[in-house]
Amino acid sequence: MKKMITMMMVAVLALSMLAGCGSTKTTGSVATDGSTSMEKVIGALGEAFQNDTGISFTYNPTGSGSGIKAVQEGRCDIGLSSRELKDEEKAAGLTGTVLAYDGIAIIVNPENPVRDLSLETIAKIYTGEITNWSEVGGKDAEIVLIGREAGSGTRDGFESITDTEDACKYRQELTSTGDVITTVSQNPGAIGYASVASVKDTVKALTVDGVAPTEATIKDGSYVVQRPFVLVTKTGVELSDAAFKFFTYITSTDANEIISAAGVVPAN
């Protein structure tokens, strides 16, 4: 009888321990919002995180500026920006953590014979100083300038690097990386820019000053048209348990393989 009572007590103790463990398990969800260029890498990280933890993950591709605003207004846990935070954004109480580095590919239609442009030439094309492909070794055809909308991290990065802020003569300003790629793929005279990680076979990525946009050239800095992928949070404000777990998960070295597989260079 004593033995049976002892065994029952052990069983009860074990069940209470399991119940205690269950009560500390992280639950809930994590919401991200922002850069469309980060869709591939954040999607891969979110899927892996969700599978490993069971915590729900969502991503809203609204653009860098909108993602930054969403954090400020408390509409998401973590904002996604494909540019560094500006001084005024930091002063407003935001912190940026670099997740990875991504090249901005200069893309043209596959039918375009041009393969390489210098950074200086790219700037002259986008500011309207060069208007015909024949001026840079291509066919006699008008250059159609495709870019992103104001507030886009990709646009901000491109214009900062090429020193063309507020001077680009866009024919079309589109609201996502995918739209830029699709538009360039359908117009033989078009030129655009897009995240290297998002470039498809439907367009051709040019070399810039003879350097192709690859993981190796982005990592060593020889491909100069590149920018950071940034996680945006509120300074001094603790994340929820779920969001903190996600943030820790994607910034650890264990996530580097997933980040590299998505076509960008891990910052860690």
Based on the domain organization, do 131 and 69 belong to the same domain?
Answer: no
**Residue 170's CATH number:** 3.40.190.10
* Per-residue pLDDT at 124 exceeds 60: yes
Could you report the per-residue pLDDT of 192-211, keeping only the tens digit for each? 999 998 999 999 999 999 99
Structural domain contains residue 84 = yes
Give CA separation, 20 vs 14, 23, 231, in Å: 10, 5, 33
What's the predicted TM-score (pTM) here? 0.78
- pLDDT, mean of residues 179-198: 96
224 within 8 A of 209, measured Cβ to Cβ? yes
Which residue segment(s) compose the domain that 163 sits in? 102-226
Based on the domain organization, do 133 and 217 belong to the same domain?
Answer: yes
Binned at pLDDT 50, 70 and 90, residue 27 comes out as confident
19-26: Cβ within 8 A, 24+ apart: 26/53, 26/55, 26/241, 26/242, 26/245
Structural domain contains residue 31 = yes
- pLDDT, mean of residues 5-9: 41
Map tokens 């014979």 to a residue: 113
Structural domain contains residue 1 = no
27-30: Cβ within 8 A, 24+ apart: 27/55, 27/241, 27/242, 28/55, 28/56, 28/240, 28/241, 28/242, 29/55, 29/56, 29/57, 29/58, 29/242, 30/55, 30/56, 30/57, 30/58, 30/77, 30/78, 30/240, 30/242, 30/243, 30/245, 30/246
Based on the domain organization, do 158 and 217 belong to the same domain?
Answer: yes
Based on the domain organization, do 201 and 131 belong to the same domain?
Answer: yes
How much is the mean pLDDT over the chain? 91
Q: How many domains does the chain have?
A: 2
Structural domain contains residue 172 = yes
Based on the domain organization, do 121 and 222 belong to the same domain?
Answer: yes
- What residues have CB less than 8 Å from 21, skipping those under 6 apart? none
Based on the domain organization, do 53 and 112 belong to the same domain?
Answer: no
Structural domain contains residue 5 = no
Amino acid in the structure at residue 120? E
Binned at pLDDT 50, 70 and 90, residue 7 comes out as very low
Based on the domain organization, do 128 and 38 belong to the same domain?
Answer: no
Structural domain contains residue 87 = yes
Residue 215 confidence (pLDDT): 87
Based on the domain organization, do 154 and 221 belong to the same domain?
Answer: yes
CA torsion sign, 249 to 254 to 258 to 264?
A: positive
Could you report the per-residue pLDDT of 208-251, keeping only the tens digit for each? 999 999 989 998 999 999 999 999 999 999 999 999 999 999 99
| Burial (CB count <10 Å: 0-12, 13-18, 19+), residue 258 | middle
- pLDDT, mean of residues 174-193: 97
The C-alpha atoms of residue 111 and residue 155 are separated, in whole angstroms, by: 25
Based on the domain organization, do 130 and 204 belong to the same domain?
Answer: yes
Based on the domain organization, do 116 and 64 belong to the same domain?
Answer: no
Closest CA to 207 of 121, 120, 115: 115
Structural domain contains residue 21 = no
Structural domain contains residue 18 = no
- pLDDT, mean of residues 27-39: 94
Binned at pLDDT 50, 70 and 90, residue 147 comes out as very high
